[in-house]
Amino acid sequence: MPNQTYAMEWLEMAKRNLETAEVLLKHDHYADIIAIEIHQTIEKTLKSILAYNGIKVPKTHDLMQLFGFCNKYIDIPNELIDDLLVINDYYQTERYPGPKYNIPEKPEIENNLAIAANLFEKVKNYINH
């Protein structure tokens, strides 16, 4: 039986990350910080699908793992895999200094923010159907 209440709690958290990313981008804030908000938006959006379907939400930040769990409940285009790989990397490379640390370019951030927003809307419609 679907658990819409629990799923909406996850989606509300995802919405806050999404709106934060949008505000930060509008004010030309640090791209690496926006990247983390994009990652968090997608992570929580995917976790809302699991919550809705009564699946225990795993304690992971791995978008690819979450994508694998969620793809059987909602049709997420496989074309997003390459983008999700890039966004998945944000959580590790943009959070800590080191050899892999880089600051994403603005066009990449804009593209990935649009992906996060589209996925959020798709999942919101799925949960509220």
Q: Are 14 and 44 in contact (CB under 8 A)?
A: yes
> Which string of b and e fits 11-28 if b means at least 16 CB within 10 Å?
bebbbebbebbbebbeee
* pLDDT value at residue 92: 76
* pLDDT value at residue 12: 98
Mean pLDDT over the full length of the chain: 93
* pLDDT value at residue 5: 96
Model confidence pLDDT, tens digit, residues 81-125: 899 999 999 987 766 777 777 889 999 999 999 999 999 999 999
Q: At what angle do helices 31-52 and 80-93 cross, to 10 degrees?
A: 120
- How many whole angstroms separate alpha carbon 35 and alpha carbon 113? 8
* pLDDT value at residue 94: 64
Supply the CATH classification number for the domain 4-127.
1.20.120.330
Percent of the chain with pLDDT over 70: 97
3-state secondary structure of 72: coil
Model confidence pLDDT, tens digit, residues 54-79: 999 999 999 999 999 999 999 888 88
